[in-house]
Structure 1
Amino acid sequence: MLHIKQLRFSFGANEVLKGVDLDILPGEVVALLGANGSGKTTLLNIIRGVLKPDSGAVILENTVRFAFLPQETPPFEGTAMEFLLESFPEIGRIYRTMTSLPIDSPDYAEAINEFHKLGGFELEAKINARLYKYGFVEEDLKRPYSSFSKGQQRLWAIFRVFLRGANLLLLDEPTNHLDLQMCQKLERVILEYKSKKCSVLLVSHDRLLIDRVADRSYYLKTGTAVSVNGGYSLMLSHLKSDFESRLREAKEIERKIKQLEFEVSRRISWASSKEAKKKFADKVMNKGHIGRKAAKLAKRAKAVQKRTQAMIRELKEKKPFVEKPIEIELPQYEVSSRKVISATGLSFAFGTKTLFRDVNLELYTKDRVGLIGPNGCGKTTLMRCLVGELKPQGELYRNDNVRWKYIPQDVRAFFRTGSLIDNLRVPELDELQLRQALGAAGFRRDKVFQDVGSLSYGELMRAAILKAMLEKIEFLFLDEPTNHLDIESLEILDRLFNAFPGGMFFISHDRHFIATHGDSLYTFEAGNIRLLFEETPVDLTEFSRTIEIISQTSEDVKNEKEK
């Protein structure tokens, strides 16, 4: 279906892709992984024909019809139906004409006929039949697109791409802005699409989604692509195995180089001693046989030395590059178990709209508690009440003797202006110790002097967690800590949280993060929170299946209310 051979591409002097090979077969879901800036979106743009490669080939079979979902969908003025019909310009044009004319107008009848000839009614029927898969109802089609939440707008954009009838989809971070239930809807739609022998090239930071849907994964790093059969977990295992293999090979080559260098040094010493003997023989015996022999031996020693040095150069060229792994070694501190929050009968409303009521919650410094729920249900509002940014009704005790921090979704608000290193200075650490701590979180060399305003979201989130640990924070309130993070940042963040000795209360839609770091889990339902797990299942499949049942139950309740 799609074959990419030895693809190279540069932005000026920066070579982004250095001979990438990639294949997608019919009915296959292929994941494209890598850090921000590794070339994922660039590769998608080359496939689309937006960018032209420096060399190599992109071969699309004649039967391929592809559709593209960008990372962010631009604003749209019009109804949801008009948004969907943007992929069908002629039908969309007639639809807008029809909806703007009075029913008894002669032009309306003409528009109806043209709409029918273009297949508009069949397309409308197809849209109505598929709406429920994305969590919408027929009435939603008439609502302004801008009136939906960002997550719902993302679902409309995904719906539009799948509606186009393409047999190859290029999806760039489709889970942006999606909540847990929406991610599961996307997962089901992808698997259904795949069952029809259609293919997907998927760029995503949702590790569980990749594990659930990907047949193969490509990992882009330093301009090249590593491929494995399977999803994220298998790729991680392969990269770890590959790292250990290259490390063993590098150590063996280093051992041989040292052995050869020692041999060169020994021969030079030996040749020098022969030269000394030669000079002595010249003086004492007026050259003769001993002098000629010494010269011959010295010449042979130099020839052997040259060959040995050539072997050393060859071994150094053959020695694989082994990137130094990031090791999380930070100043340690103890956190004792103390109450942080006690909330009884908390309620909050914006005007006449009640977001939650009668919420009861207790949090301790050793707790790691997650909160899930649909977008817009009041999760962030509840957290802002707990940290004192909003004033709720009810009783709220917050122990301000506990060292706590709130890291909001807009993590930039957590920092003041200036360089990264200046933002993280604490009295207990000198410059060297601070640089070592920054290195442990993946900030090396000149990166530490960069202005915080120029850092990516993922870098800022890592820096925020590191700052909390350097300040010996005992409890964290986190609102969507994994939003917009690339795969490598997610891995570093996991290790930072594993090293963090305190507790946390977090909002997240990342199933992998919730299952890895949550000891217990609450769900937002009907304006209240309910304990879902006393102990979050480590098994991601079990966890995802449970969430799916809850999501379906919530949808059934919603549908009953609508009826």
Structure 2
Amino acid sequence: MILSVQKLSKSFLDEPLIKEASFHIEDYEKVGLVGPNGAGKSTLLKMLIGEVPFDEGTVSLAKGKSMGYLSQYQEVTGGLSIYEEVSSAKKEVMALEQRLRQLEKDLKALTGDDLEAALKEYHNLTTAFENADGYALKSEITGVLKGLGFTEDEFTKSVQTLSGGQKTRVALARLLLLKPNLLLLDEPTNHLDLSSISWLETFLMNYRGAVIIISHDRYFLNRVVSKILDLEQQSLYCYSGNYEAFAEKKKARRAAEYKAYLKQEQEIKHQEAVIEKLKSFNREKSIKRAESREKMLAKIERLTPPTEENLKMNITLQAASRSGNDVLEVSHLKKSFGKEELFHDLNFQIKRGEKVSIIGDNGTGKTTILKIINQLLMADGGTFTLGAGVEIGYYDQEHHLLHGEKTVFEEVGDTYPDLDNTEIRNVLAAFLFTGDDVFKLVSALSGGERGRLSLVKLMLSEANFLILDEPTNHLDMDAKEVLEEALNNYDGTVLYVSHDRYFINHTATRILELKNETLYSYLGNYDYYLEKKEQQKAIWQAENAQAPTEVSKSKLSFEEQKQEKAAQKRRENEIRRASEQITVTERRIEQIDELLTQEEVYTNSLKCRELDEEKRELEEKLLELYEIVL
């Protein structure tokens, strides 16, 4: 056991935040800490490291063990570069290397006893350097920085010039290199793109130490942790397993608690009825029996009905009208900012009823695509066409469509003037804006509150084509699950950008990956996308293992390099066109399968044969297309 926590309690202004929390962490154990916003998760981690004093209880770290803590917001100061700041975590090893290099220079001029002493020191330092993996130090530092999304060009940037999110990534990189026995991470994925999150998952799963992670990233928790600590209504509950196992067990626990509560209430009412009956006899013996039962009833420890830690949002997304089958067609779309080209020749279509997620690294232009379609930005080239009867509802992650000077009530009332005061109050209450909350200024709202207000307006729009930019940002887990359910029940079409892989996995029917300035289409959810990527990687590795060793690019002539780039470009275009054809072909096969279930079709033998023949041809074509892509 590396950490033991017993009966930890904390109150603020006489209001209890955490009551008698007890748990333990084993060596190498990976633990998720979850709970609603404001439950005290960050405070709990700060109590473990001694940053916040606790009122009662004990925190015991095993002798000789170390803890490292990453808060949500980091202020990295000083004039060091990114590489220098991160490598400072290994200053002892770097000092060893500097001393070794100095000794190597000095040895040339030494003789006799001085030489012998220097050689002995050199041998001892070399052993220490090897034991500290010193020879792999530079590649380790580079690997962590690249894994967390920094390019080599950025290594020399001063940390003073970085954004808050970049500073947090620098602090995380430094902490990972320190390798404490117990890592405490508060929302470590907040400022990472998908590839960096995937890298961090692998790093933590293989980390030779214990980890406690606060995170709203359910996919991340699913992959990394084997235990969940749930902070709920001032109490801490412990569950073995990953996030999905926790969700099922918590649901079962709450159901059992509610069942026990109902059973006790039934027994109490029964006893009260018996007592009332005995008293009605108005005899000394029956009155004494009634008093005896009353005493027994008073000793019962009353169970409280289990209530949700937060009231859940009540969101229903419904389209007022049905669009045509063709919702959106994008052709040869192109966009640059200055000399930096985000993408070129983007082509894709969206059909009615699809739930399409655009994924890709930060800065590739995902949000820009949504803004172009919403006519908030102009494209440099190409066109997009909306289908017949398409009505767009837009959710902006920066909430620019909200007005900071208005109250919550005015924001809804001014946008939808046909609603009366009661209707506005009711819809806001469904999104947890109650009482005086509705008179808060929009500018004073938290990120989560702004997200909920934007969802209110989205629901009231009754649009049949929803375009969403990071809709789960700042939402707690309950709110995310409500939104997932609403989107899955929505009968319109959805196009969205999200880094929330759990959300993507539970809502997307197709994924568009923006990579190398172009789009690649995968028909399915996030797990299907990962499966296809692994297949592509395996085939690529097999092909490269069999291929003869290529001449390094530095040895190629300019003309050969030019030809190689042109060939690579043709290959990328071929894969892109094949991916688009796969989507169209798979969709047609689905349409044929649906047609074959209709009575007017399956009772027409000629039509059945035609459709069956078309399906066989499409399936053969699909195999050929997969060979191109894979």
Shift of 1:3: 0.6
> Which one-letter code corresponds to 2:391 in the other structure?
R
2:371 pairs with 380, 384, 394, which one?
Answer: 384
Helix, strand or coil for the counterpart of 1:63?
A: coil
- How many residues end up aligned between the 2 structures? 511
Which moves more between the two structures, 8-17 or 468-477? 468-477
Deviations 1:342-362 (A, max 9, x none): 221111111222211111233
Residue 505 of structure 2 corresponds to residue 515 of structure 1: yes
- Between the aligned partners of 1:139 and 1:427, the Cα distance in structure 2 is 53
Closer, same or farther: CA 329–191 of 1 in aligned 2, 3 Å: closer
Shift of 1:254: 1.9
Closer, same or farther: CA 486–390 of 1 in aligned 2, 3 Å: same
- Between the aligned partners of 1:489 and 1:482, the Cα distance in structure 2 is 8
Residue 22 of structure 2 corresponds to residue 13 of structure 1: no
1:83 pairs with 85, 102, 108, which one?
Answer: 85
Closer, same or farther: CA 456–247 of 1 in aligned 2, 3 Å: same
1:336 pairs with 303, 308, 322, which one?
Answer: 322
Identity of aligned residues (%): 27
Name 2:353's counterpart in structure 1. 366
Structure 2 alignment gaps of length 5 or more: 99-121, 545-550, 555-630
Shift of 1:420: 3.0
Contact 2:319/2:464 (<8 A) preserved: no
Residue 442 of structure 2 corresponds to residue 452 of structure 1: yes
Kindly report which structure 2 residues correspond to 1:347-358, keeping only aligned pairs within 5 A, or say none.
347-358=334-345
- Between the aligned partners of 1:562 and 1:306, the Cα distance in structure 2 is 96
Deviations 1:46-78 (A, max 9, x none): 111111110000001112111111212325543
Contact 1:184/1:548 (<8 A) preserved: no
Shift of 1:27: 0.9
Shift of 1:130: 4.6
Kindly report which structure 2 residues correspond to 1:3-152, keeping only aligned pairs within 5 A, or say none.
3-74=4-75, 76=77, 77-87=79-89, 125-132=136-143, 134-135=146-147, 140-145=154-159
- Between the aligned partners of 1:477 and 1:332, the Cα distance in structure 2 is 14
Deviations 1:225-258 (A, max 9, x none): 1111111111111111011111111111222222
Closer, same or farther: CA 140–391 of 1 in aligned 2, 3 Å: closer
Name 2:306's counterpart in structure 1. 321
Closer, same or farther: CA 552–463 of 1 in aligned 2, 3 Å: farther
- Between the aligned partners of 1:378 and 1:536, the Cα distance in structure 2 is 21
> Which one-letter code corresponds to 1:256 in the other structure?
E
- Between the aligned partners of 1:562 and 1:4, the Cα distance in structure 2 is 57
> Which one-letter code corresponds to 1:482 in the other structure?
T
> Which one-letter code corresponds to 1:317 in the other structure?
R
Closer, same or farther: CA 73–562 of 1 in aligned 2, 3 Å: farther
Helix, strand or coil for the counterpart of 1:31?
A: strand
Name 2:601's counterpart in structure 1. none
Deviations 1:90-148 (A, max 9, x none): 8899999xxxxxxxxxxxxxxxx9xx999799768513235235346666533444677
Residue 487 of structure 2 corresponds to residue 497 of structure 1: yes
> Which one-letter code corresponds to 1:80 in the other structure?
I
2:524 pairs with 511, 515, 535, which one?
Answer: 535
TM-score, normalisation: structure 1: 0.80
Shift of 1:370: 0.4
Name 1:403's counterpart in structure 2. 391
Which moves more between the two structures, 449-458 or 56-65? 449-458
Name 1:104's counterpart in structure 2. none
Contact 2:513/2:520 (<8 A) preserved: yes
Helix, strand or coil for the counterpart of 1:71?
A: coil
Structure ranking higher on relative contact order (CA contacts 8 Å, 6+ apart): 1
1:199 pairs with 193, 210, 219, which one?
Answer: 210
Residue 489 of structure 2 corresponds to residue 475 of structure 1: no
Name 1:229's counterpart in structure 2. 240
Deviations 1:444-471 (A, max 9, x none): 5554454433433233323322321123
- Between the aligned partners of 1:268 and 1:448, the Cα distance in structure 2 is 51
Name 2:580's counterpart in structure 1. none
Contact 1:10/1:54 (<8 A) preserved: yes
Contact 1:6/1:19 (<8 A) preserved: yes
CA RMSD of aligned residues (A): 3.7
Kindly report which structure 2 residues correspond to 1:410-425, keeping only aligned pairs within 5 A, or say none.
410-411=398-399, 413-425=401-413
Deviations 1:422-462 (A, max 9, x none): 43344665555555544444445554454433433233323
Contact 2:320/2:463 (<8 A) preserved: no
Name 1:173's counterpart in structure 2. 187
Contact 1:369/1:521 (<8 A) preserved: yes
Contact 1:257/1:312 (<8 A) preserved: yes
Contact 2:3/2:62 (<8 A) preserved: yes
